[in-house]
Structure formats: C-alpha cells, structure tokens
Amino acid sequence: MSNYYEQSLNSTKLFQVYQTKYPRVKRYLDEEIEFVRRNLHGNERVLEVGTGYGRIIKELAPSVASIVGTDISDASVNLGKNHLKECSNCSIQVMDTHKLEFTEEFDIVLCLQNGLSAMKGQPKHIIEECMKVLIPGGRAYFSTYSSKFWEHRLAWFHEQADKGLLGEIDMQKTHDGVIVCKDGFVAITFSEDELRKLAIDSGYNYSLEEVDESSLFLILDKPYKNL
C-alpha cells in the first residue's frame, strides 16, 4: 500500500525530520523510546513496524536480544542498513505492515510515533497484523500524540514544511489533532476514546497510558494458549 512516507517523505528527508531545533520535540521522541525501554527485560525478540531508517530500533537494540524493523520504503530501508551497520542484533527490511510475512514470532511488536496514522489504511487491520506475529503472552505497543502536545507538534510540522520536507500547512483545515498540508499530506491522531474502542474491538486485554504529556500509548496483550 503506497503512502506519503513511501513516495515522498523517506530516506534522507525522513532523517531530517528528526533533526529538530525544538527541545520539547526532542524530549517527546526520547521519552517515547524510554517508556518502551523501561518495560523491557533484555531477552526479548522485538519487531518495529514502520521503522523508517531505524532510528528507534538502534536506540532500543542494547536493551533487547534482537530487533527487526520493517518499512514500506526501499529508500528508507537502504539508508537504515547503513545507519544500523554496527548494530549486530538489528536488521531492517522492506515489508508492508498491512501484510506482515514472518515465519518467526516476536515477544514485542512496536508501532510507534503515530504509526496507526502514518501507515494509512484501517487501524484495526494494522493491529490485527501486529498481533498475528506475536507469541502467546506477547505484547504490542501503539502510540499516538497526546492532545496536550498539539502546539509542539504543530510547531514541529511547520519546521518540516519550512525545510521543504512537507508541503505548506493548510491552516484552515488543520485543527483538532489533524494536520493537513497543501501537497496532500494528512496526519491524524487518536483520542483516548478512539484507542479504547480499537482495543475493545480487538478483543485483547489492554491498557492506556499517557507519557510525558506528549505520547498516548495503547498496549495490547496476547493471551497464552490454553493448555
């Protein structure tokens, strides 16, 4: 499934997104990773979908047994292979999250940095695909933006537009957690109620947690098989 991150915002452009001048945005990015890290034991096999060039998996690699990243963009994955060349327990490959194809299973699956929006399609289906590749007893993390982070998020997107990474932001259409650019890019977010509904519809045990007044996490647990 093609999207903006495959066709336009990939590779070195995506790398530039994270070279932000805003300390509050840098803190958000760090705290999202740190939240996941605090919940790891060190022996997990981890998958991150929508990994881009591997920014997050490189940070988490010292805290896990192994970590795999997938992304729909060939250009981002090629950049990621160089970015991760000294990371012995990391790998990255091209794969569509809407159709995950693994023979192995993972202890942890990550869909971070508002991935349910970025990967388009039906979020329910993305959740199903992520849960499919978990071991029984595994856990999946999905993050979106907290509504409390709106002003910082909008400033960050203006910065990206000023760098030419995105089109000009259409301020008439940008509001209530939705950012619309004049080149067709649209980024939504998910409220706590919307995440709760996705969780209930999935049928899995879940929890919701706000982190640093910037991220909102939906955490789903896959049950153990009955003996």
* Alpha carbons 114 and 159: distance in angstroms, whole number: 18
Q: Which two tokens stand for residue 107?
A: 């202890």
Q: What is the pLDDT of residue 11?
A: 56
Q: What is the pLDDT of residue 13?
A: 82
* Alpha carbons 119 and 223: distance in angstroms, whole number: 26
Question: Rounded to 5 degrees, what are φ and ψ at 179?
Answer: -110, 125
Q: Which helix (H) or strand (E) holds 13?
A: helix 11-17
Q: What is the pLDDT of residue 115?
A: 93
End-to-end CA distance of the chain: 38
* Alpha carbons 51 and 187: distance in angstroms, whole number: 17
pLDDT along the chain (227 residues), means of 10: 47 84 97 98 97 95 98 91 94 95 96 91 95 98 97 96 92 96 92 97 97 98 81
* Alpha carbons 137 and 90: distance in angstroms, whole number: 23
Where in the chain are the domains?
4-147+190-221
Q: Which two tokens stand for residue 65?
A: 């047994």
Q: What is the pLDDT of residue 8?
A: 47
Residues with Cβ within 8 Å of residue 74, at least 6 apart in sequence: 94
Rg over alpha carbons for the chain, rounded to the nearest Å, is 17
C-alpha angle 25/52/223, rounded to 5°? Answer: 90
Q: What is the pLDDT of residue 1?
A: 35
The arrangement of secondary structure in 4-147+190-221, i.e. its CATH architecture, is: 3-Layer(aba) Sandwich (3.40)
Q: What is the pLDDT of residue 226?
A: 62
Residue 159 in 3-state DSSP? Answer: helix
Residue position matching structure tokens 């452009």: 13
Residue position matching structure tokens 């007893």: 137
